[in-house]
Structure 1
Amino acid sequence: MIRNKLAELLAERKLKISRVAAQLPNLSRNTITSTASNKGKMIQLETINTLCQCLDISPSDFFEYLPFDISCDVNISKNETSSSDTDVKNILIKQHSIEFDFFIKLETVDTKPIIFEYTGSNLSQNYWGKDLIFKLDKNDTSDFGNVWSHKITPGFQAVIWNDFKQKIADTINDSMTKKFSSHSSSFKFQIRSNSIRLSMDFYDDVFNIDF
């Protein structure tokens, strides 16, 4: 895995993206924002060159590397959410009404993938539009927590955690859209990854919740 450290580099220098964009007429604010978020799959060499010159760093300072890739997969095993109206304006999400299997895959190009398996379910009852809180319990004796703590840097942890939440959000959106599409052909469930809260054995971003 490889990522850029632009967000940290700007924070260290107390630089705002808007200020950097104003200083670099050949780079748009959107380009700098997208680069800093690590959401793009490709960065132009001209962009890297310009940012390195602006920050007075080398490309080795700009990038961070892990000698393996981490990805995840989500399979919905239960979706017992319900709607109180025919036009699906209110969707009730009861406690444990959504359950799924969650797989973390660690791999390199020349080794067999290592799979870490978890089971997830929502903790609280709420209506669509509020945050969804999930607790994920591991299903085997393998310890991804050791990998997380000792082999993944804080910068990569933030990227990987957001990838986990995005995958869960995308999978839930697909499941909910299919479930309620019979109520309305135009219905599309859209929960954003920043509305997902996760608690796992190695890390969580859930606060003031009594498990």
Structure 2
Amino acid sequence: MIRNRLAELMQSKGIKVVQLSKETGISRNTITNTVQNDSEMYRLDTINKICNTLKITPCDFFEYSPIEIEIEVSHDPEILHIGRTVNESYIADDINLELDIIFTLIKDGRTKNVYGTLKYLPQSVITTSPIHTSSISYSLDMNENQDNINELSSEVNNLSSGFKSMIYKKMINEIKTYLINYSANIEYPFYTTYLINFDVEIKDVVQDVQIEVISNVFTKF
């Protein structure tokens, strides 16, 4: 895996996005995306300007780890649903959003799949209210023997905090993208006694939902 360390470098030098944008001529949007490691490709002249301004080398700018962790989300057919049992309520109370998740650890030419389940937690709130934000909390349960869990946990623990944050963010993005794509491709995403999608499409609710995963292996920070 590879990532940039711009966030840490700017923090250590006390430089903010606005200042770096002004001194390099790079747009604030580009710098923000770079800080968040949201860019898959970097222009050489962008890296050159940042390095010159911060007085660092490309080796300081990038961080590398010889492992890869890929993430895949899925679910059992006809399980996912969001609905409500009380008419005229904005809050969903009939919910099944349990997901399966696979972590693929790639190191030294070896590939190992570690399987888990994302359990939907009761503190989650799914609402179509225009003044409230939906939130989904999952607990990550590993469906594996302890040796496989320990190996994955050990590799993650040896990573820098920046890589840990990047993997957590990748996991959240995979979950959200999966739910959005699923909701966009089925005709009736909500079902129960009363449909909750009055005037609101499921994809719009999922698009804005805040997601967190509680796990002993993967942490947000």
Structure 2 matches for 1:41-190, cutoff 5 A? 41-77=40-76, 78-83=79-84, 90=90, 92=92, 94=94, 97-108=96-107, 111-124=109-122, 126-128=125-127, 129-141=133-145, 142-143=148-149, 144-150=152-158, 152-177=159-184, 178=186, 179-180=188-189, 187=201, 188-190=203-205
SS of equivalent residue, structure 1 residue 163: helix
Q: TM-score, normalised by structure 2?
A: 0.79
Measure, in 2, the Cα distance between the counterparts of 1:193 and 1:114.
33
Moved more, 180-189 or 51-60: 180-189
Aligned letter for 1:24? T
- The 1:37/1:51 distance shift into structure 2, 3 A limit, reads same
- Which residues of structure 1 form unaligned runs of 5+? 206-211
Give the Cα–Cα distance (whole angstroms) in 2 for the partners of residues 84 and 4 of structure 1. Answer: 48
Q: CA deviation at 1:191?
A: 3.2
5+ residue gaps, structure 2, are 128-132, 192-196
> What secondary structure, in the 3-state scheme, does the structure 2 residue paired with 1:92 have?
coil
Question: Which residue of 192, 198, 205 corresponds with 2:213?
Answer: 198
TM-aligned CA deviation for residue 84 of structure 1: 6.4
Q: Is the 8 A contact 1:74 1:171 kept in 2?
A: yes
**Percent pairwise identity:** 25
SS at match of 2:9: helix
Residue 185 of structure 1 and its aligned partner are, at CA, apart by 11
Q: Is the 8 A contact 2:81 2:190 kept in 1?
A: no
Partner Cα separation in structure 1 for residue 16 and residue 103 of structure 2: 34
**Is the 8 Å Cα contact of residues 114 and 144 (structure 2) preserved in structure 1?**
yes
CA change 1:186–1:122 in 2 (3 A) is closer
Question: Distance between the aligned counterparts of 2:208 and 2:217, measured in 1?
Answer: 19
Question: SS at the partner of 2:56?
Answer: coil
Whether the 8 Å contact between 1:76 and 1:171 is mirrored in structure 2 is: no
Aligned pairs, number = 200
Normalised by the length of structure 1, the TM-score is 0.83
CA separation of 1:113 and 1:135: change in aligned 2, threshold 3 A: same
What is the letter of the counterpart of residue 173 of structure 1? I
Give the match's secondary structure for 2:109.
coil
The residue that corresponds to 2:38 in the other structure is 39
